[in-house]
Structure formats: C-alpha cells, structure tokens
Amino acid sequence: MSSISLLPGAMSSGEFQVHVPERVEAIENRHRRIVAFLKEHVLDAALLTRPSSFAWLTGGGNNTRGASSDTVAALFITADARVVLTRNADSGRLFDRELGGLGFQLKERTWQEDCSVLMSDVVRGRGVASDAPFANCEDYSLRLSGMRLPLERFEIRRLRTLGLELAHCVEATARSFNCGETEADIAGQTAHRMLRRRIYPERIQVWGDGRGERYRHWGFDDDPVEQFCTITAIGRREGLHLAVSRTMAFSGHEKRIRPAHLDALLVQVTGMCFSRHDWEIYETWNRVQRIYEKFGHTEEWHFTDQGCVTGYELCEVPIVPKSEFRLQPGMPMIWQSSIGPAQCADTIAVAKSGFELLTPFEGWPKVEVNVKRLPVSRPDVLVRPATTPS
C-alpha cells in the first residue's frame, strides 16, 4: 500500500486540522475492534463503503461529495493499516479537510477510473468483510453496524452543539415567515439557516394547516400556510444525525392545533422519560402505547413511525413495539409522536440516570407535562400575529 504524500499547493493556517485527542483515541480503538472481529472470523481485511461506516471509523469524516449520496472513497482496514481508496480528484480534500494527521494511508487512481475498479483490485484474493454487498466480499453489514453504538463523550458533545444550532434554525424560521408563504418557502428558509451552519438537511417537513394529518410523511409543497404550521428538520453534521420540530399558529388558529399538540407532547415525554439504561425498547414502548390509549388515540401510532435510535445512520435501530434492543448510555434517540394535525420531534441521549435533551428550546413558549407526577418542560405552540408580505 502506498503512503500518504503531500499534495501540491501550500495550505493556509486555517486549513491545518487540530484534532480532539478523544477522536484520535477513538479511531485507534475502533481499528482494534475491527482487527479483533477479523481474527474472530478468520478474515484478512474489512472494506467499508457506507458513509455511516466511514464517518464512524474516522470519528466524523465524510466520504461523500458534499451533502449528496455520491460516495467518493472507501476504507480498507487490515491489522496493520487503514487505507483510503479513492481517486485523485478527491484525495486532496479528504486528507486536507477530513483525515490529515489521523494515521490513514492513501491508495488512489486517476479520476477517469471508477473507484469500484480499485476496490475490486484490492479485495481480490483476500478474505474480506464488507459493510455492503460488493464483489466476492462477505457481507457483514449487520455485525459491523452494531459497532457504531453507543457513542463516545466527544460525539455526544458534538450532538449538543448540533442540537442547539438545529433547534435555533427551526425556531428562527417559525418566528419569522409571513402568513401566506408556501411550505416550500418555509422549507427553503430552514435549509438556508442550516447550511450556513454546515448542517446538511437530511429531511425537512413543513406541516401547514393540518396537511400532515392526512399524509403523515408529508414533506412540503406549494400550498400556502395561513393558520398553523409544524416545521420538522433532521440535520447531519460530522456524520451524526438529530431531529427537532417546533409548532406555531397565527392568532385565532391556535385552538385547532393546541389540544392535539399537548397530547402528542405527553406521548413524546413518556417515551423520553422511560428511555432508560438497560431497558429493552419494547419495555419503553409499552408505556408509550398506554398513553396513546389512555387519552383516546388508540389508532394514532399505527399511522407513522415513532422514532429511532439514531447516530451515524439516521435510523440505527427503529422504535417498534416488540424490539428487544437494549438501550445504553450514550445512545441518541429521536422520539417523534403524531396525533391528528400535530407532530412533536426531539432528540435525547440515554443516560445512566434519566435522559439528556439534545434539542433544547430557548426563548420559546413552554408548557409543563407531567409524567408520573414529574413535571417536564416542553415547547408549547408559539402564537404569532398574522403578517403578510408587503
């Protein structure tokens, strides 16, 4: 394997990376875990092509072209080396901006050759585990994906910062758009705020005037928002995902959305409060389902998914009624409840005691929701006077 060489052109001081020691240590530990896995299965190497695998092993690196799904590099891991397989058009950015100084080697081909050709050459004649079907590799995607959780402390710190900024983007949009603007306008304003903070929009939903009640996976369209609106955004940065939603209503229309919103909050808070260390998801879900039933919404949870354990994949583990997946501290969870026209989405981290809210709300109206007589502050419906563009 060829070693990294400096590419032409001097870097400015702003381009030199300063690495968090915990990231460097995490990369070494993750490399050792893969080596132990290879020894256990009598394999020579691992080929990691998925963006989630790449981001996990590199502690936040990005092997896609911008925010697209177009991957430009793969990792080839042996007992002795961590090798980046890519083309010369992408190697400069990868090592200047993503991986420089982290102990990775480079094997590249010219841009005219598809990266899959290089990958095929490298795996030929070897016993290789892959995180996705490829050539003669053995698909160990489920086993390899299980290594990504729980997250480490530096990753939770990243999520705290991401959650604060993502919530700000959604809240600022909800406070400022004009009555009569379209859902697409509002989605664009949200995406603009996110991208300015290097948060890649994984999904944006704008439920205007109750349209989400009929279409629970509604995104956005050219329909104007004239009564009330829920903005939900899922953002990704350094490979990690978070989700948050906020609901607003123009004056006089809050009565239509607020009762359903409060019930949805109660369901959501129940999920959060019972996302406990060493509990299996079904134990948490049983309590959530009882709240749906207690408040007369027995069928509502059947209409859409309720959330997931998230991380380097948006959905690492889905929240489903009979799941025996065991929760551990350091696992982020998206709880997304939906009742009628209302939707509530926020992200927490499971802790040894209780949970940590990763998408806080500051300067937003609050309401207290009681779970087992414990008051929990949650974001209420923001009521604004109706304004129209001049």
The predicted pLDDT at position 389 comes to: 55
Closest of 7, 17, 179, 24 to residue 89, by C-alpha: 7
Cβ atoms within 10 A of the Cβ of 297, count?
Answer: 19
Amino acid in the structure at residue 266: L
Closest of 174, 168, 224, 220 to residue 193, by C-alpha: 168
All structural domains of the chain, each given as residue ranges with its CATH number in brackets, are: 13-148 (3.40.350.10), 153-384 (3.90.230.10)
Contact 378/348 with Cβ under 8 angstroms?
no
Closest of 296, 302, 381 to residue 342, by C-alpha: 381
Contact 151/332 with Cβ under 8 angstroms?
yes
The predicted pLDDT at position 18 comes to: 61
For 95, 211, 386, the CA distances from 100, given in Å and listed in that order, are 4, 47, 51
Enumerate the H helices of 50-97 as residue ranges: 51-58, 88-93
The predicted pLDDT at position 386 comes to: 87
Locate 95 and state its tokens. Answer: 């090592």
Per-residue pLDDT of the chain (390 residues; tens, 9 = 90+): 333 333 434 344 344 466 789 999 999 999 999 999 999 999 999 999 999 999 999 999 999 987 677 899 999 999 999 999 999 999 999 999 999 899 999 999 999 999 999 999 999 999 999 999 999 999 999 999 999 999 999 999 999 999 999 999 999 999 999 999 999 999 999 999 999 999 999 999 999 999 999 999 999 999 999 999 999 999 999 999 999 999 999 999 999 999 999 999 999 999 999 999 999 999 999 999 999 999 999 999 999 999 999 999 999 999 999 999 999 999 999 999 999 999 999 999 999 988 999 999 989 999 999 888 888 999 999 999 987 654
Closest of 307, 338, 335 to residue 320, by C-alpha: 307
The predicted pLDDT at position 5 comes to: 39
Show the CA angle centred on residue 86, arms to residues 84 and 89, nearest 5°: 130
Q: What are the phi and psi torsion angles at 42 (to 5°)?
A: 55, 55
Strands 382-384, 128-130: pairing kind? unpaired
Q: Does this model's pTM top 0.85? A: yes
User: How many angstroms separate the CA atoms of 100 and 123, rounded?
Assistant: 24
Secondary structure (3-state) at 384? strand
Closest of 265, 196, 275 to residue 230, by C-alpha: 265
